[in-house]
């Protein structure tokens, strides 16, 4: 169950110019999302990125803790520093034009698999085959480092979700609701894999069954 409900304010900005002045008009789009383990999240914003600020608490997040940055991680608008994982988000957006929202989290079951260096690649439930295929494991890189970005980015073109060794999990999608859906499904997937291993191991789908599930995407 999700424990905390917060409101995220995604700021959409339009500019209107003439010879004498520039008028800035801001429209706030209020989106309610449910968060239990969230660390950092971001949204594609025209040619910029709207991202949570460094050290922000998502359980008590306000619009003032969202900042606007460019793709090089430079602050464009806001009074706080962008997330320390800002370049991870930027690289995900660069590689995936279809991704508009990214969530980086440290939930208990996904993080446990990340810390044990175990990818989630067993086809045991239809929803996980359908939404993920598998969730690969990126090699360890120091949090906030370019090394982490480079190692994790190896998987961005082919996967929506990636485990980061001894760290956590990152997922991206077209809409914020789809990104949170995949976060919830991934943590549930990790928990089921953990439970089945305690019970002697799950019975895996065979190749034909996996292909049948994937055919539902067409």
Residue 216 gets the label, from left (phi > 0), alpha (psi -120 to 50) or beta, of: alpha
Query: The whole model's pTM is what?
Result: 0.84
Examine the pLDDT at 29 and tell me if it is beyond 80.
Answer: no
Looking at residue 22, its pLDDT comes to: 31
Q: How many CB atoms lie within 10 A of CB 25?
A: 9
pLDDT at 85: 94
Average pLDDT over the chain, rounded to an integer: 84
Decide if pLDDT at 7 tops 90. no
Report all structural domains of the chain as residue ranges with CATH numbers, in order of start: 4-217 (3.40.225.10)
pLDDT digits (tens, 9 = 90+) for 31-73: 444 444 556 789 998 899 999 887 665 555 666 778 999 999 9
Residues 184, 109: Cα–Cα separation, whole Å: 11
d(CA 3, CA 122): 28
Top pLDDT among 213 and 11 is at 213
- Residue 196 vs residues 115, 125, 161, 192, 206: alpha-carbon distances, Å: 19, 12, 22, 6, 17
The alpha helices in the chain, defined as continuous H runs, are 86-95, 108-115, 126-131, 146-153, 176-198, 207-214
pLDDT band at 112, cuts 50/70/90?
Answer: very high
Q: Which of 85, 122, 150, 212 is catalytic?
A: 85
pLDDT tens digits for range 153-205: 999 999 999 999 999 999 999 998 899 999 999 999 999 999 999 999 999 99
pLDDT, average across residues 122-131? 96
**Residues whose CB falls within 8 Å of the CB of residue 195, separated by 6 or more in sequence, listed in order:** none
27's tokens:
């429209």
Question: How much of the chain exceeds pLDDT 70, in percent?
Answer: 78
Is 85 a catalytic site residue? yes
Q: Is residue 10 within 8 Å of residue 50, measured between CB atoms? A: yes
């Amino acid at each position: 169950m999700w424990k905390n409900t917060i409101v995220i304010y995604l700021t959409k900005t339009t500019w209107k110019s003439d010879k004498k002045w520039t008028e800035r008009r801001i429209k706030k789009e209020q989106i309610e999302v449910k968060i239990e383990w969230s660390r950092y999240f971001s949204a594609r914003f025209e040619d910029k990125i709207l991202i949570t600020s460094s050290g922000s608490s998502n359980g008590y997040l306000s619009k003032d803790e969202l900042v606007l940055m460019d793709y090089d991680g430079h602050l464009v608008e806001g009074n706080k520093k962008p997330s320390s994982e800002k370049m991870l988000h930027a690289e995900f957006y660069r590689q995936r034009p279809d991704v508009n929202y990214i969530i980086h989290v440290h939930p208990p079951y996904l993080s446990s698999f990340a810390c044990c260096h175990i990818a989630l690649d067993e086809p045991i439930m239809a929803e996980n085959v359908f939404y993920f295929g598998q969730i690969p494991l990126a090699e360890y890189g120091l949090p906030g480092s370019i090394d982490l970005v480079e190692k994790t980015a190896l998987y961005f073109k082919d996967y929506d979700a990636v485990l980061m060794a001894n760290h956590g999990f990152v997922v991206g999608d077209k809409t914020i609701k789809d990104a949170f859906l995949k976060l919830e499904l991934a943590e549930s997937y990790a928990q089921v894999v953990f439970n089945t291993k305690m019970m002697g191991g799950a019975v895996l789908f065979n190749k034909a069954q996996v292909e049948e599930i994937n055919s539902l995407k067409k």
